[in-house]
Amino acid sequence: MEKVKIIFVGLGGRGYGLLKDVCQMEDVEIVALCDLLPDRVERALKLVQEQKGNTPVTSADYKELFATVKADAVITPSAWQAHAPICIDAMKAGMYAATEVGGATSIEQCWELVRTSRETGMPCMMLENCCYGEFEMAVFNLVRKGFFGELVHAEGGYRHDLRAEVALGHERHHYRLDNYKRRNGDVYPTHALGPIAKTLDINRGNRMVSLVSIASKARGVNRWILDNRGEEFENAREPFALGDVVTTIITCANGETITLTHDTTLPRPYSRNYVIQGTKGIASEDANFSISIEGLTPQNDSWDPNEWRPMKEYYETHGHPLWKAYRSAGVKSGHGGMDYLVLRAFIEAVRDKTDTPIDVYDTAAWMAITPLSEDSVACGGKPVAIPDFTEGRWLTPRPVVRGKYCLDEVCEEAFEGITEL
């Protein structure tokens, strides 16, 4: 079997982690490595040599690699603002493009992703690992089987205490610091939005139409620096642009609302606060990853008739078949196993020469929420229209690539007789 040849662009903490996952895959060859920092390239090179036995080409210039190295796909866990340009250049060089999560820096950039993909025929996939989370996929499975009735509302967010990562961004070469200093909006919307969008059929019979975005004041990072590094540390008293909590409400063509929260510079336990609500039931991460569904979970005759039940009680009977197969094969490391799944989803699409389960329209629409959120915040919460990157293709059925990693439908037939992924 011919191996899938991959170029990795971006080898920081996240890039190195994904590289480790990919090195475990026997059907993948790492043919080139790229980062602006030589020590990162060195560390990654050593890993590939040890794990895979070959010596990839290395460079600090990804364009040079794209022009000279023959590969099937590019994976880019680079800084947020580099994702789109690298993906565009990868597709122009005839390769599949996979971008780590993160928002766009302009709407034009999202259009360029779409245009380039259509002109080159090369897919572009955001590696939104949370689309493959066990809880999110079980909710998706229940939704597709009708348990939630008609969907009405969803919530989610990225709520994670990253004060140290932001404050120490320059010494750790992390892109968050410069973004947080100057931008104000939901800079990281996709961990919740990805699975919500797939569940709500966004770009396939539905689309995101408009949003409003409001930011709180920014106090968390300054306070953290003063308390942990003192007055003399950089940015101790200089203001940050990014509000500590940015709340966005998206309206969809079919009337659903999506509330997103970006909340990364205050002390708090981690949560993506995933919520899906329909006319027959609700799922909620913050309620201890629970569901309450008419006809499935218990009800009573009190003033509060619906009861929560932990989703884990239903994984055996109502979990997504991908996770049942994954559990029996053995869950791999990396954010609770999601990283392996999203990487396999991409690699197998490259191998099979199909479109990716998260396609370029999904990628563009999800990334676009960031600059649109910035626009709305800048205008005091004004409603902002969300472009239709499909240019009307959402109105009529588009072909679905069925299979184990499909995020549009639950493809039971792909798991018949399967005990390993």
- Work out the angle at residue 350's Cα, subtended by the Cα atoms of residues 82 and 369, and round it to the nearest 5 degrees: 40
Q: What are phi and psi of 186, to 5 degrees?
A: -80, 95
Torsion of CA 333, 335, 341, 346, to 10 degrees: -120
Residue 276: CB minimum distance to a second copy, A? 11
- DSSP-assigned letters across all residues of 344-369: HHHHHHHHHT---SS-HHHHHHHHHH
Contact call for residue 266 and a second copy (CB under 8 A): yes
Contact call for residue 186 and a second copy (CB under 8 A): no
Rounded Cα–Cα distance for residues 91 and 87 (Å): 6
Contact call for residue 229 and a second copy (CB under 8 A): no
Contact call for residue 111 and a second copy (CB under 8 A): no
Residue 37: CB minimum distance to a second copy, A? 22
Residue 389: CB minimum distance to a second copy, A? 21
Contact call for residue 43 and a second copy (CB under 8 A): no
Residue 242: CB minimum distance to a second copy, A? 12
Contact call for residue 306 and a second copy (CB under 8 A): yes
Q: Which is nearer to a second copy, 94 or 255 (CB)?
A: 255
Contact call for residue 380 and a second copy (CB under 8 A): yes
CB atoms within 10 A of CB 108: 11
Q: Which is nearer to a second copy, 121 or 303 (CB)?
A: 303
Q: Segment contacting a second copy (CB under 8 A): 47-55, 57-65, 107-115, 284-292?
A: 284-292
Contact call for residue 294 and a second copy (CB under 8 A): yes
Contact call for residue 268 and a second copy (CB under 8 A): yes
Contacts of 177 by beta carbon, 8 Å cutoff, 6+ apart: 166, 167, 168, 169, 170, 235
Residues 126-155, mask of contacts with a second copy (x by CB under 8 A): -----------------------xx-xx--
User: CA 177 from chain center: how many Å?
Assistant: 20
Contact call for residue 238 and a second copy (CB under 8 A): no
Contact call for residue 230 and a second copy (CB under 8 A): no
Contact call for residue 217 and a second copy (CB under 8 A): yes
Out of 277, 363, 373, 390, name the contact with a second copy by CB under 8 A: 277
Using an 8 Å Cβ cutoff, are 42 and 79 in contact? no
Measure the N-to-C terminal CA separation of the chain; round to a whole number of Å: 17
H or E, element range at 1: none
Query: Looking only at residues 334 through 353 of this chain, which bind a second copy when binding is defined by CB under 8 A?
Result: none
Residue 387: CB minimum distance to a second copy, A? 17
Quick one: DSSP state of residue 322? Answer: H
Quick one: DSSP state of residue 332? Answer: P
Helix segments in 1-61, DSSP class H: 13-23, 38-52
Using an 8 Å Cβ cutoff, are 278 and 148 in contact? yes
List residues bridging with 283 in a β-sheet.
Answer: 276, 291
Residue 63: CB minimum distance to a second copy, A? 34
Out of 49, 288, 328, 333, name the contact with a second copy by CB under 8 A: 288
Contact call for residue 233 and a second copy (CB under 8 A): no
Rounded Cα–Cα distance for residues 364 and 3 (Å): 29
Query: In the sheet that 28-34 helps form, which strands lie side by side, from edge to edge?
Result: 57-59, 28-34, 4-9, 73-76, 96-99, 124-126
Binding residues for a second copy, rule CB under 8 A, total: 57
Contact call for residue 160 and a second copy (CB under 8 A): yes
Residue 330: CB minimum distance to a second copy, A? 23
- Residue 363 tokens read as 């990628």
Give contact residues for a second copy (rule: CB under 8 A): 149-150, 152-153, 160-161, 210, 212, 214-217, 219-220, 223, 243-245, 247, 249, 251, 254-257, 259, 261, 263, 266-271, 277-282, 284, 286-288, 292-294, 303-308, 380-383
